Amino acid sequence: MTSLALVRHGETDWNRERRLQGRADIPLNETGIEQARALAARFDASEWALILSSPLSRAWETARTLSAASGIPLGDPAEELIERSFGSAEGEIVTDAKARWIDSRYPGSETPEEVGERGSRYLTEVARAGIGNVIVVSHGAFIRATVTALTGVDLGGVGNAAIVRLEYSDGTWELANDPVASVTV
């Protein structure tokens, strides 16, 4: 069995303002940096082989901070872990975007199903590679869509610095017992 911990990056100013970030490269704010440091206490380096990350700075900085504080090796950033593109809605306040596009199908965006397909394909490759247990630092919409694609479970919201644990065995994905945790700073 292989365990994956899907970790959402720490907070950004756009998270605080409730803006759709998508692929906009918004850095962590001070709270996000503290959350990234606090994540290290949640992981025992002897149980985890590698940290992978989206290349967007908010995820990459979370992953680098987690790696430095925990001693778990950090791999190269992976484009497959990048956040969902929200197209024309990127930068919009979430409630404004939902009022403007009631079905949340933003012009020029990726669908949640496309994100889930991309994420499930990549994470299955990672699990089958025999690396061991892997921490994956990514984004809220990516994590939600990928978990739904892999397990059929809709997590709803995924907070900043939340950890979602998945287990892979014999071609099957399952949420771990008590799969969602978060850090408090």
Please list the active-site residues: 9, 83
> Using CA atoms, how far apart are residues 39 and 82, in angstroms rounded to an integer?
20
Which of 74, 101, 77, 66 minimizes the C-alpha distance to 87? 101
SS3 119: helix
Residue 136 vs residues 81, 91, 184: alpha-carbon distances, Å: 8, 25, 19
Phi, psi dihedrals of residue 107, rounded to the nearest 5°: -55, 130
Upper half-sphere CA count for residue 169 (Cβ side, 13 Å): 7
